[in-house]
Amino acid sequence: MVYALKSRLCCSGVTGKQRMASTNRRFKKMSFKAFRIHQQEKGVSTGFEQMEVGDLTEGDVVVRVAYSGINFKDALAATGTAKILRVPDLNGGIDFSGTVEDSENQHFKSGDRVLVCGCGLSETRDGGYSEVSRVPAGCVVSVPENLGLREVMAIGTAGFTAAIAMIRLEENSQSPDHGPVIVTGATGGVGSIAVDMLAAKGFEVVALTGKTDQHDYLRQLGATEFVDRHELEMGTRPLEKGLWGGAVDNVGGETLGWLTRTVRPWGNIASIGNASGIKLETTVMPFILRGVSLLGINSIEMPEALRNRAWQRLADDLRPAHLDLIAPRTIDFDDLPGAFDDYLTGSVTGRTVVRIGN
């Protein structure tokens, strides 16, 4: 059980280490469950462990976690398929929502509804797969008034990333008049929400997916045309026929190279993921002859103002219209370890929310 405790420290003259020590003392007898990943020489070992606040990575805001989500990156980290952790041992989960229990920062107080996405969670900081989390205030975002704690994790890092892609596309003058936007990996979390957002903004959306049985799902989100990943002929020329006004790419590798060759003049490609590989083979021709722009999307490190602006827009004009369809599943914390393999095999459609707290 977690008890809300108010800070008794005066801020003047108190160092960060002193404040941290005080927090540790106040929560010394509080124990909670976390899904912890131990990076080993070959692979990882994982499981639920009992922890105390003092065991967590440093931060000035302590949060009782209500929900988290499962992202492809979470599955990679938890299974050791890729080396995501940059330190030997961390709690998994790259995002969470919950309620502030204790704060040494004046911007947050006990009872505030908050969320954290990215910011090094499950890479350099303990993540959201924990009944209690402690994070720096600069990573914390107040949950918009018209969104609930489960709702923001249904959106999660996937929706946040899609929102950053939308903002960058807009800033680089992408418009519906320029032609259809193709979304690769369209049935995944980022892809599903990107299809939803683009359609709501008036874009013609083409979904690239190998899941032909999910066309009805994608139509409901707003896709109007489909490209079968298994039947795609990419060609070999430096420039192929210009097909797309722009693209949101979640897979990288050979597919991203093909997109650079098939986006129309002055179109943009938002590059988000690398599920199909990290290599990019292309030429300068798309960039110097067609003026194509390749926009990198990093949802981990960014200006705090952009982080807050993206979440405000997710509560407003970028709010997914079909979130219940995109994120219909909620699993209990105890069921988390058995959920990762489906993400690695690509058999998951949409988003899964993890109920951490009561």
What confidence score (pLDDT) does residue 45 get? 95
Determine the pLDDT at residue 28.
54
- Per-residue pLDDT, 23: 56
Are the CB atoms for 259 and 269 separated by under 8 Å? yes
Q: What is the gyration radius of the CA atoms in the chain, in angstroms?
A: 21
CA-wise closest residue to 254 among 274, 268, 272:
274
> What is the block-wise mean pLDDT of the chain (358 residues), using blocks of 10 residues?
35 49 59 95 92 97 98 94 93 98 96 95 97 96 96 97 98 97 96 98 97 97 96 93 98 96 98 91 97 95 90 97 97 97 92 93
Q: Are 140 and 125 in contact (CB under 8 A)?
A: no
The domains found in the chain, sorted by start residue, are 16-143+328-355 (3.90.180.10), 156-296 (3.40.50.720)
Unique residue bearing structure tokens 């030429």: 283
Residue 122 tokens, joined: 């499950």
